[in-house]
Amino acid sequence: MSARRQYGSAPVGGSPSRWLRIGIPVVLVLIWLVGGSIGGPYFGKVDEVATNDQSSFLPSSAESTQVQERLADFTGGDTIPAVVVVTGDGALTPTDLTKIADLAAAIGAVPGVGEVSPALPSEDGEAAQLFVPIETAGDVGDTVADVRAAIASSLPDGLDAWVTGPAGFTADLVAGFLGIDGILLAVALGAVFVILVIVYRSPLLPVLVLLTSTFALCVALLTVWWLAKAGVFVLNGQVQGILFILVIGAATDYALLYVARFREALASGKRRWDATTSAWRGAFEPILASGGTVIAGLLCLLLSDLATNRALGPIASIGIAFAVLSALTFLPALLALTGRAAFWPFAPKPGRVGDAGQAAEALVADPSAPVRGFWARQARLIARHARPVWIVTTVVLLGASLGVLQLQANGVPQSDLVLGASEARDGQAVLADHFAAGSGSPAYVIVPQGRVAAAVGVLEDSSGIDSVAAVSRDAASGQVGVTIADGEPVYTAAGPPGTAAPEPTVSGGDVLLVATLSDAADSLAAEQTIRDLRTSFDEALGAEQALVGGPTAIDLDTNDTSIRDRTVIIPVILLVILVILMLLLRAIVAPVLLILSVILSFGAALGVSALVFRHVLDFPGADPAVPLYGFVFLVALGVDYNIFLMSRVREESLRHGTRPGILRGLVATGGVITSAGLVLAATFAALGVIPILFLAQLAFIVAFGVLLDTFVVRSLLVPAAAYDLDRRIWWPSRLSRRDSGSLDT
């Protein structure tokens, strides 16, 4: 047969005309180019619709949220407090205090800053603090940066100053996310490119695959940006980073599956168009099923009470949907136009196909038969020692899972959220050396005006409270001291003895009390104080008579809500994915096996991660959402590899019988699953370049878990257990009643 006849463009049988075979791919490529060119510029605009205000993530029913919504009624403005702590070489002199007053004036001139409080010296006389209200209507991070710049230019010699408090920590957190648009994407795409070049040994194919994932991300980001701008969901830096990584990793995985099918079709002698349609038919169901499973798992996050978790579900689902769409339209169009040239200089040669099937048949006939290739030898190991392989693997994974007992996922102090340097964290340490540790981040208590005395009594009886004041707009400092005399509240104002104290501000019949905590506001001890206060108020004043809020209460409510979400959502995800697998594989036993393998894999990954976090990296703990996010991604994405493997195994089993089908499926998909696992692990590991504790922990858990899934669970445990179960794996479908050893074609 001539080369022209084999690779020419003349239509054969029902093939479309030459113009359609060129026109359809060109149109698809142009559509994606337009979408990508529109969505690309939005990478630098995400901060316009993003927020990192933790209080906005809690449900409206949370007690701290109710307090937060009413603060402006008492203070007269919607602000978040920053604290500037100033120290000298020793005791501050009157001259130093005058200079600090001038510094306060310079800070007050910064746009977005409210009325700065007078300097409040510490009892030891070695430090002073300024309370700086930051207006939330503007960008808190930018305003704090301007305050720090004003301090740097106005601070006299001999004095040191730090900006801390809730606004300071928010600014440091925002700064930690600044590398998402640049560094994170560069590292992720660079790592994927290197892996693809090594796998395919081709300069062009990795570019086509990366274009597939990059354009999917551009269009997804465009969609998400406008939905966030319309207020459909909350977008923050954490969700943004996960979206970037998830789309790049998932789109690349789906692209690799399609490329493997396209390469097989070319190696079987098919021309470009025939190879395209053949690959598309073979990849369509597993890619669609994989993407659908991930989307279903992610949408379970809609059950969350936290706005960030709830938003991640649809945001990430949008990303996965475009990843699937790109892998099934954009990449096929690119490969249809480039054909064998995409694999240059190692283009697949016609006739080099069938090795996987021949090796599988040989192993079924004789498990000790000599075979070539890593995955053929892996199949031989399964054929000869299936039961010992899955038993030993299971025991090892169970042992690794015991490390979960070392996991501390009950929350971490806000000061530990940012890895590396943090001015707010340093400032908080200085503040705690000279003032009550909770200065600048008080607890807010809203009580009926007639129950102020009882509420103050509860606060004074608490060992975790250093001092109590009431908010008064008429007071120069915005607050008046409050004590109890003869069962009635007595208000005092700063100033010379005898200075009359204004009455506290009353809103809706309520008064706002400000309680300075004895412990650092982001500490576990402070959270316990808030928890105890709520119990004491319920006992002394009655339920719903007092609301306790503030930064510490927000942290506490966030952690409690995260733990609740974790308990509710994880079982739902497992159930949803189990149902999808049953529908896909038309069986019950195989899906149950796959779900059990995923749970075991997640347990082992989390156990090893807990040991590394505690004994190697010395992390202070973990956010309660870390196990939930790790579970969502490892289970949803781990099922991807299950689907890649078992859909091919079922396809081969229908033709050749179960055991030959398992060996054929393992040999045929081993390479693509391994490549996909390496790519996904590399993309999630890239999250580690963002200096945020949550993302660093999530990066390790998912990256390690994916590698464990790829090289152990999907390569050894699942095929060995399935091989041992034989045709029973397909129960109750008709395939479970077929002769497992038949090789009829």
From the number of C-beta atoms within 10 Å of its C-beta (0-12, 13-18, 19+), residue 277 rates as middle
Instruction: For residue 623, name the pLDDT band (cuts at 50, 70, 90).
Output: confident
408 occurs within a structural domain: yes
For residue 137, the 8-state DSSP code is: T
Do 343 and 373 have their domain in common? no
Do 166 and 223 have their domain in common? no
Q: Which pLDDT score is estimated for 602?
A: 92
Q: Which has more confidence, 744 or 285?
A: 285
pLDDT of residue 648 exceeding 80: yes
Cα separation, 553 vs 233, in Å, equals: 23
Does an H or E element contain 483, and which? strand 479-485
Do 264 and 390 have their domain in common? no
From the number of C-beta atoms within 10 Å of its C-beta (0-12, 13-18, 19+), residue 221 rates as buried
Chain centroid to CA 21: how far? Answer: 41
Q: How many domains does the chain have?
A: 4
54 occurs within a structural domain: no
For every residue of 276-341, DSSP letters joined together read HHHHHHHHHHHHHHHHHHHHHHHHGGGG-SSHHHHHHHHHHHHHHHHHHHIIIIIHHHHHHHHGGG
pLDDT of residue 321 exceeding 50: yes
**Single-letter residue type at 711:** F
Cα separation, 85 vs 156, in Å, equals: 14
557 occurs within a structural domain: no
For every residue of 641-673, DSSP letters joined together read HHHHHHHHHHHHHHHH-HHHHHHHHHHHHHHHH
Pair of tokens at residue 547: 């609301």
CA distances for 618 relative to 258, 418, 602, angstroms: 42, 14, 22
pLDDT of residue 263 exceeding 50: yes
Cα separation, 318 vs 300, in Å, equals: 14
Pure H helices in 84-204: 94-108, 140-154, 165-176, 185-200
> Cβ(158)–Cβ(89) under 8 Å?
yes
For range 195-224, the mean pLDDT: 90
For residue 489, the 8-state DSSP code is: E
* Packed helices 205-229 and 185-200: angle between N→C axes, nearest 10 degrees: 150
For range 480-499, the mean pLDDT: 75
For range 298-304, the mean pLDDT: 90
Domain carrying residue 93? 62-176
Peptide bond into 111 cis (omega under 30): no
Report the percentage of the chain scoring pLDDT > 90: 20
168-182, 277-291, 644-658 — which is least confidently predicted? 168-182
Label the pairing between strands 127-135 and 120-121.
antiparallel
Q: How many CB atoms sit inside 10 A of residue 698's CB?
A: 27
Q: Which has more confidence, 458 or 362?
A: 458
- Bridge partners (DSSP) of residue 479 are 471
pLDDT of residue 344 exceeding 80: yes
> Cβ(303)–Cβ(568) under 8 Å?
yes
Pair of tokens at residue 505: 């501000």
Instruction: For residue 32, name the pLDDT band (cuts at 50, 70, 90).
Output: very high
CA distances for 685 relative to 294, 349, 359, 496, 681, angstroms: 19, 36, 36, 61, 6
Residue-averaged pLDDT of the chain: 84
For range 121-133, the mean pLDDT: 88
SS (H, E, C) 515-548: EEECCCCCCHHHHHHHHHHHHHHHHHHCCCCCEE
Pair of tokens at residue 335: 């490969």
For range 628-641, the mean pLDDT: 82
Task: For residue 76, give the CATH number of its domain.
Answer: 3.30.70.1320
Q: Positive or negative, the Cα torsion across 609, 704, 180, 222?
A: negative
Q: What is the pTM of this model?
A: 0.82
Do 333 and 227 have their domain in common? yes
Q: Taking Cα atoms as reference points, which of 191, 295, 176 lies closest to residue 696?
A: 176
Cα separation, 249 vs 209, in Å, equals: 11
pLDDT tens column, 519-540: 888 888 899 999 999 999 988 8
Cα separation, 631 vs 574, in Å, equals: 10
pLDDT tens column, 400-412: 999 998 888 887 8
Pure H helices in 326-451: 331-338, 355-365, 374-401, 423-434
Q: Which pLDDT score is estimated for 136?
A: 77
Q: Residue 348: helix, strand or coil by DSSP?
A: coil
Cα separation, 177 vs 45, in Å, equals: 13
Task: For residue 523, give the CATH number of its domain.
Answer: 3.30.70
42-51, 65-74, 491-500, 687-696 — which is least confidently predicted? 491-500
Do 73 and 99 have their domain in common? yes
Phi, psi for 258 (deg, rounded to 5): -65, -40
> Cβ(641)–Cβ(647) under 8 Å?
no
Cα separation, 262 vs 500, in Å, equals: 85
Task: For residue 284, give the CATH number of its domain.
Answer: 1.20.1640.10
pLDDT of residue 611 exceeding 90: yes
Q: Which pLDDT score is estimated for 5?
A: 41
Label the pairing between strands 506-507 and 465-471.
unpaired
Label the pairing between strands 127-135 and 160-164.
unpaired
559 occurs within a structural domain: no
For range 643-664, the mean pLDDT: 84
pLDDT of residue 362 exceeding 80: no
Q: Which pLDDT score is estimated for 11?
A: 44
Angle at 713 between CA 707 and CA 718, to 5 degrees: 155
437 occurs within a structural domain: no
Q: Which pLDDT score is estimated for 45?
A: 75
Q: 72: phi > 0 → left, psi -120 to 50 → alpha, else beta; which?
A: alpha
CA distances for 639 relative to 230, 293, 632, angstroms: 33, 8, 11
Pair of tokens at residue 187: 């590292």
For residue 502, the 8-state DSSP code is: P
Chain centroid to CA 741: how far? Answer: 45
Do 729 and 585 have their domain in common? yes
From the number of C-beta atoms within 10 Å of its C-beta (0-12, 13-18, 19+), residue 264 rates as buried
Instruction: For residue 4, name the pLDDT band (cuts at 50, 70, 90).
Output: very low
493-502, 542-551, 638-647, 672-681 — which is least confidently predicted? 493-502
189-198, 203-212, 637-646 — which is least confidently predicted? 637-646
* Packed helices 307-325 and 205-229: angle between N→C axes, nearest 10 degrees: 140
Do 533 and 588 have their domain in common? no
Cα separation, 467 vs 216, in Å, equals: 55
Map tokens 């994927």 to a residue: 192
Do 220 and 341 have their domain in common? yes
For range 165-175, the mean pLDDT: 84
313 occurs within a structural domain: yes
pLDDT of residue 284 exceeding 50: yes
Q: Residue 103: helix, strand or coil by DSSP?
A: helix
pLDDT of residue 742 exceeding 50: no
Pair of tokens at residue 207: 């570019």
Pure H helices in 40-136: 63-75, 94-108
Cα separation, 532 vs 462, in Å, equals: 8
Final residue of a structural domain among 320, 351, 382: 351
Final residue of a structural domain among 496, 517, 549: 549
Do 375 and 466 have their domain in common? no
Do 402 and 459 have their domain in common? no
Q: Which pLDDT score is estimated for 8?
A: 39
Q: Which pLDDT score is estimated for 3?
A: 42
pLDDT of residue 315 exceeding 80: yes
Phi, psi for 619 (deg, rounded to 5): -75, 150
Q: Which pLDDT score is estimated for 220?
A: 92
Chain centroid to CA 463: how far? Answer: 37
Pair of tokens at residue 197: 């070049």
For range 20-45, the mean pLDDT: 86
Q: Which pLDDT score is estimated for 131?
A: 86
Rg of the Cα atoms in the chain: 31
Do 38 and 74 have their domain in common? no
Q: Which has more confidence, 497 or 397?
A: 397
Pair of tokens at residue 434: 């000279």
Q: Taking Cα atoms as reference points, which of 185, 717, 146, 76 lies closest to residue 398?
A: 717
Do 339 and 363 have their domain in common? no
120 occurs within a structural domain: yes
pLDDT of residue 226 exceeding 80: yes
Q: Residue 81: helix, strand or coil by DSSP?
A: strand
Q: Taking Cα atoms as reference points, which of 118, 147, 112, 122 lies closest to residue 130?
A: 118
706 occurs within a structural domain: yes
Cα separation, 75 vs 83, in Å, equals: 17
